[in-house]
Amino acid sequence: MDTAPAATVDDDAIAWFVRLRDEEVSEADRATFAVWREASPSHEQAWREIEAVWGGLDQVAVPKPVPAIVAPAASRSRRLVLRPLAAAAVILLAVTTAVRLTPDGLFADHRTGIGERRVVALPDGSRIELGPASAVDVDFAGARRTVTLVAGEAFFTVARDPTRPFVVSAGQGEIAVLGTAFDVKIGQSEAVSVVVTESKVAVSAAGSGAVGVAAGQEVGYDRNGVSAVRPADLDAAQAWRQDQLVFHDAPLDAVLTELRRYRRGTIQLLGGELGKRRITAVFDARRPDAALETIARNLDLRLLRATDYFVALVAW
């Protein structure tokens, strides 16, 4: 019985498509692919679907290959600049994984682009520092001051006003304050993290009662409710404000989700289980490509490129 998730099978099929069009593919690779293809009807179906999509791209002009970058021998084996067919295969990857063309928060009141940070001054004297690829809506018309974090991450410095609570709505919950400073980030699957740097906030989600979070603490929440309160690493949580990205034993999926906010184009991970590998690192947010190369080198992955807009990490 085939129990592998469909998304994992699709990822594996795409990875094989790219690998088999690499000029360095070996007979052993081809034999392993044959075993994979025959192992399950779902593998065969996924492969046929990719071939069908590839056939539909026959009339699409294949981009010119990116010129090879001269690199030290020790790192050259880790990095592959794609030939035309492989470059087209990565374009196929973008098609078959339905790359999102419309950014979240396109019509929000305030938004930032990839790699951009911006400070928004509010009418009450509060300030919002928006991280890259982030967006907020602001509504001060009612009895409370309301800001909705539509996408990304923001650091809030709230002016105190006992008569009008300040409420941040994000994902499946809300953060209520009077006057304080805190960071809110929407991560994978609408999971939200809240880190408090000054005073305290009340966090509620999924119908649960409000949870108090004081300075130096953090919580996370999603559709299942609010997590337990835990100590926060304030330096790591605010590192993005100094163009640094800090990860402590973070899954690769989460790391790549963050890097996508700093790099234009598509970053794909080919292989369903690869996303569970753990990363502990500090990256320069202004150099996302260097971060990808470091990840590939340390996790023994291949970094495939087709133009500046299509990048994939693949297991050897």
Query: Considering the domain boundaries, does residue 103 fall inside one?
Result: no
Query: Considering the domain boundaries, does residue 104 fall inside one?
Result: no
**Which pLDDT score is estimated for 302?**
86
The 10s digit of each residue's pLDDT in 158-169 is 999 989 999 999
For residues 287 and 253, membership in a common domain is answered with yes
Mean pLDDT of the chain: 82
Mean pLDDT over 88-107 rounds to 55
Question: Which of 219, 239, 259 lies at the terminal end of a domain, its last residue?
Answer: 239
pLDDT beyond 80 at 34: yes
pLDDT beyond 90 at 5: no
Contact status, residue 144 vs residue 120, Cβ threshold 8 Å:
no
**Which pLDDT score is estimated for 54?**
57
**Overall number of domains in the chain:** 2
The 10s digit of each residue's pLDDT in 228-277 is 999 999 999 999 999 999 999 999 999 999 999 999 888 888 776 888 99
pLDDT beyond 80 at 93: no
Residue 302 domain boundaries: 6-98+243-315
How far CA 122 is from CA of 79, 86, 191, in Å, comes to 46, 49, 26
Angle at 268 between CA 265 and CA 269, to 5 degrees: 160
pLDDT beyond 70 at 297: yes
Question: Which of 239, 272, 293 lies at the terminal end of a domain, its last residue?
Answer: 239
**Which pLDDT score is estimated for 269?**
84
Question: Which of 209, 239, 269 lies at the terminal end of a domain, its last residue?
Answer: 239
**Which pLDDT score is estimated for 112?**
94
For residues 128 and 203, membership in a common domain is answered with yes
Mean pLDDT over 166-184 rounds to 94
**Which pLDDT score is estimated for 274?**
86
For residues 92 and 129, membership in a common domain is answered with no
Helix axes 41-56, 6-20, angle to 10 degrees: 60
pLDDT beyond 90 at 214: yes
Query: Considering the domain boundaries, does residue 223 fall inside one?
Result: yes
Question: How far is residue 168's CA from residue 7's CA, in Å, rounded to a whole number?
Answer: 34
Tell me the pTM: 0.72
